[in-house]
Amino acid sequence: MGLIVQKFGGTSVANAERIQNVARIITDTYRQGNSVVAVLSAQGDTTDDLIEKAQEINPRASRREMDMLLSTGEQISCSLCAMAIEALGYPVVSLTGWQAGVQTNSTYSSAKIKKIRTERIQAELDRNHSIVIVTGFQGINKYDDITTLGRGGSDTSAVALAAALKADLCQIYTDVDGIYTADPRYVKGAKKLDEITFDEMLELASLGAQVLHNRSVEMAKKYRVNLEVLSSFTKKPGTKVKEVAKQMEKTQISGVAKDKNVARLALVNVEDKPGIAYKVFSLLGQKDINVDIILQSIGRGETQDISFTVKRSDADQAKELLEEHKASLGFDRIDVNKEVVKVSIVGAGMLENAGVAAKMFGALYDADINIHMISTSEIKVSVLLDESDANAAVQAIHDKFFEE
Ligand code: ASP
Ligand code: MG
């Protein structure tokens, strides 16, 4: 028994039947003696549909008005869910972000939560023993205007509320039943994890495993909110995300992820002298182009090559920018390859296990897959490969770590 925050995503509340299903999950939890705060997203594609409506009227609508519009999606799902709970005979109240005390900065459309004044929610829980339903994705700024937190922001609303209310658990209900060792849609033998650490989850999320909104995981880590990801469609246990997870001794890693949003740039025959790398990467930094893997070749007399990866969508801009400074940087040409992919293994236990990287490279060698670049961090090894090799590579690596 305790205080549980439950978040339900758009697919979980997409229609009347699903809202009734969610109402049952919430009231079951309440009946077991818990206080429940539920945070809901807008139904199904509502947010996309609202954006489309706005575009018909004014494709350049201000962000303030967009937030006024988009925040209505969550009001619909929350009030409907409260009605479903009323029908089941339980005390319930639905609250907007403003009523729930969610205070944000004033960056419309991607606001950050600054503080949550929990008095109202606390009163509803304590005095009225109500189930409290809160609109995800929205808050209010210092001008009393409605703000939204950016697409997918309801996860962050839920974690922020869990932190502010010092909840015992924050359950994120979605349409998958947890975090897997690889994307189960493409990888044979992908297994659901019982537990994963915040750090591993952050790596997997930024590598393209789209289960939780990244900001929500960062926030959960910071405020030590116990998270659980589970499906609203099945009754199976989900995956717990926490500070320290059970060691995966046998497998050494927690997952394999692939990220297609990468491109490799190579500066060929750059002058081999001090300050060149500094110049190249400051230029990119000034334009907010993030560089990921960097490789500098051994000099051949006067020159050397510098290759690096950026987001695929940044590749052309990065190339243009460097071309503009060709004279001062002194290189022959820039090669751009957008048909590459980054495949990574992630595991908190990696540090203590020598040979994890070698095992990954061995799997790729056995599958006859060529590696272009390698980078490592404390809990991650990434390789850059041809995009055509991506799926085979993920499968081969996954087999090596999880099938043996
Ligand atoms: N309804 C918002 C969106 O679709 C927020 C969310 O679903 O988390 O982005
Ligand atoms: Mg959504």
H helix or E strand, kind and range, residue 50 = helix 46-57
For the CA of 73, the nearest atom of ligand 1: 1
pLDDT of residue 302: 84
Based on C-alpha coordinates, what's the Rg of the chain? 24
User: pLDDT over 70 for what percent of the chain?
Assistant: 97
Residues with CB under 6 A from ligand 1: 10, 41-42, 47, 73, 136-137, 151-154
Q: What is the pLDDT of residue 185?
A: 85
Pairing state of beta strands 380-386 and 340-346? antiparallel
Closest ligand 1 atom to Cα of 74: 1
pLDDT mean values, one per 10 residues, the chain (404 residues): 95 97 98 98 98 97 98 98 98 98 97 97 96 98 98 96 98 91 90 92 76 89 95 92 74 89 94 89 94 88 91 96 92 96 91 85 97 92 96 97 83
Edge to edge, the sheet with strand 239-242 lists 92-95, 131-135, 35-40, 3-8, 169-174, 227-231, 239-242, 195-197
Q: Which residues contact 31 (CB under 8 A, 6 or more apart)?
A: none
Note the pLDDT tens digit of each residue in 8-53. 999 999 999 999 999 999 999 999 999 999 999 999 999 999 999 9
Contact 204, 178 (CB under 8 A): no
Ligand nearest to the CA of 172: 1
Which residue reads 């990065």 in tokens?
318
Pocket test for ligand 1, best of 7, 74, 154, 212 (most atoms within 8 A of CB): 154
Residue nearest to atom 9 of ligand 1 (CA): 151
Spatial CA neighbour of 216 closest among 207, 208, 225, 303: 225
Sign of CA dihedral 199, 203, 209, 214: positive
| pLDDT of res. 214 | 84
- The one-character DSSP state at 254 is S
Rounded to the nearest whole angstrom, what is the distance from the C-alpha of residue 303 to the centroid of ligand 2?
Answer: 50
The number of the ligand nearest the C-alpha atom of 73 reads 1
Question: What is the 256 CA–ligand 2 centroid distance (Å)?
Answer: 25
Q: Which pTM value belongs to this model?
A: 0.85
Residues 6+ apart with CB under 8 A from 141: 103, 104, 105, 106, 111, 147
pLDDT at 245: 76
Which residue matches tokens 């025959």?
A: 269
Q: What is the pLDDT of residue 403?
A: 86
pLDDT at 271: 85
> Would you state the structure tokens that stand for residue 255, as one six-digit string?
């997952």
